[in-house]
Structure 1
Amino acid sequence: MRKAIISEDPWSKLRTLSKARIALGHVGGSLPLREVLDFKLAHANAKDAIDSSLNTESLLGQLKTFGLPIFQVSSQISDRKEFLKRPDLGRRLSTESVDDLKESKQTFDLIIILADGLSAEAINTHAVETLQNLLPKILEKYSVAIILASQARVALADEIGSLLSAKMTAIFIGERPGLSSPKSMGIYTTYKPAIGLTDESRNCISNIHEDGLSYHEAAEILHYLINESFRRQLSGVNLKLDLGRLDLGETTVLPK
């Protein structure tokens, strides 16, 4: 039996510049087996990311070192199947979580929420180190609490912020996993959170992962958004980034 010969694509060097599936080569009229298997592995990793869970014990242990109030909440979702089918329930807190937050009788300038979203592994991997870069910049100026939220959608932050009378929320959440980035984290900020707000009221920092924004870059942008939101008392489409005011020169290599 004759061994198949892979015809490499003349643009193959471009693959070092992008995670996109380009210049794959071919064997006759078919893709090389290596590319077929790589695609199947990437698809499996994306599916696993959706089914992943917050490593609550590890996260709590790391978060306690910051010396900040920590709460745990969950949405009205019962399992991952319902999470995918009923995003509306992922935007509202469970009755028990509502009662817990009401009983706290605490208020804060800023609530930082670590939420599983569509990739809990993104939070397990990237959230704490992003906080390590952020918190030294803000703790002298703002009162801060941290919340771990399970089965959560972005808008869950609105109800959390409202119950704790927070002036602003920042929700760190696992983004929809892609075939090249199953552990991508996003951050959504909202000034004056309230139930019923829509996405034009938020600012978004996206693609925090090993091939995207570094921890330093994400923390620098978030620091800017926090300061500007408090100064101008708004967030969302009316708040734009002024890149000239950001120190994005330092880079951090994120774990794969």
Structure 2
Amino acid sequence: MSIDRRARAPQDFWNSLRSSTQSRIGLGRVGDALPTTSVLEFRAAHAAARDAVHLPLDVSALATRVEAVGLGSPVTVRSRATSRPEYLRRPDLGRLPADLTAVPRTGADLGFVLGDGLSPRALMDHGAPLLAALATELADTYSIAPPVIATQARVALGDHIAAALGVQTLIVLIGERPGLSVADSLGIYLTHLPKPGRTDADRNCISNIHPPEGLGYQQAARVVASLISGARRLGRSGVDLKDTSRTDELVSHAALTIPGPTG
């Protein structure tokens, strides 16, 4: 019995750790190789990541879901990358618009761009519900331009779209690079006073949005609301702007739970 317990102990140890991470840890071995099951799971995850990159965005279906959010009929634009292979080979073309004549100038406080990025699957799975959570969090405070759906898009394409919209703050929802643990993760990039030529240092990123395992829609929306408020006070976004949403929640909770003076 003692020998059996010692044999099981390493596996029990790794099983406990696996409950807190999606990483591949403690895979074990068979002779000099990995177990067959682990190899097959790895290959399946790699195939899913490749599929997520190459799967074309169903623009019509996404537009229907986005319009149902209630922010207006979405406009569709594309970058100068004319195909998925060219998009992957030429990131520079994904940052430039092919044509923005369909984008209305609104002068709104906020603009939303939904880009396929490196995981169109992520945008299809999470784009509309995340946009709905953002609208719920922000629509009572700010004016919002009609959403824009961008294909073959890199983050910086949003700066050109924002300039055409005339918005003060841009929020880009874009499919993140798939990995071997997650192939449908969505990211948010926030730029205050956007214009062509902005760099990553001028933006704030909220990543790993893919409930239930990743960040939830409502939590991401609260972070965005905090960043917008901070950017408007600071006059800029980027490296100087920090998320205070959790601090604000703690202060609010303390104000509700700590008794005040009774006089």
Q: What's the counterpart of residue 30 of structure 2? A: 27
Q: What's the counterpart of residue 141 of structure 1? A: 141
Superposed CA RMSD in Å reads: 1.6
Q: Deviations over 1:183-215 (max 9, x none)?
A: 011000001111111111000001111422111
CA contact (8 A) 1:224 1:246 kept: no
**2:68 aligns to what SS in structure 1?**
helix
How far is 1:125 from its partner?
0.7
CA contact (8 A) 2:69 2:128 kept: no
Q: Deviations over 1:89-120 (max 9, x none)?
A: 100100xx22222xx34322111111000001
Q: What's the counterpart of residue 44 of structure 2? A: 41
Mapped partners of 1:246, 1:234: distance in 2: 23
Q: What's the counterpart of residue 214 of structure 2? A: 212
Higher alpha-carbon Rg? 2
Count, aligned residues? 237
Q: What's the counterpart of residue 113 of structure 1? A: 113
Mapped partners of 1:236, 1:246: distance in 2: 22
Partner AA of 2:102 in structure 1: D
Moved more, 112-121 or 204-213: 204-213
Partner AA of 2:140 in structure 1: E
- Any stretches of 5+ residues in structure 2 without a counterpart? 1-6, 251-263
Q: What's the counterpart of residue 122 of structure 2? A: 122
CA contact (8 A) 1:91 1:153 kept: yes
Indicate yes or no: 2:85 matched with 1:81.
yes
How far is 1:136 from its partner?
1.8
Q: What's the counterpart of residue 252 of structure 1? A: none
Q: Deviations over 1:16-42 (max 9, x none)?
A: 221111111211221110000000000
CA contact (8 A) 1:114 1:127 kept: yes
Change in Cα spacing, 1:236 to 1:22, as seen in structure 2 (3 Å) is same
How far is 1:246 from its partner?
4.1
How far is 1:216 from its partner?
1.5
Q: What's the counterpart of residue 71 of structure 1? A: 75
Mapped partners of 2:134, 2:127: distance in 1: 11
How far is 1:175 from its partner?
0.5
Q: What's the counterpart of residue 151 of structure 2? A: 150
**1:141 aligns to what SS in structure 2?**
coil
Mapped partners of 1:137, 1:21: distance in 2: 36
Moved more, 231-240 or 63-72: 63-72
CA contact (8 A) 1:117 1:173 kept: yes
CA contact (8 A) 1:110 1:143 kept: yes
CA contact (8 A) 2:69 2:131 kept: no
Mapped partners of 1:135, 1:17: distance in 2: 32
CA contact (8 A) 1:80 1:151 kept: yes
Q: Which of these residues, 228, 231, 253, is aligned with residue 230 of structure 2?
A: 228
- Any stretches of 5+ residues in structure 1 without a counterpart? 1-6, 248-256
Mapped partners of 1:217, 1:233: distance in 2: 24
Partner AA of 2:154 in structure 1: R
**1:154 aligns to what SS in structure 2?**
coil
Mapped partners of 1:17, 1:138: distance in 2: 33
Mapped partners of 1:91, 1:131: distance in 2: 22
User: When the two structures are superposed, what TM-score results if normalisation uses the length of structure 2?
Assistant: 0.85
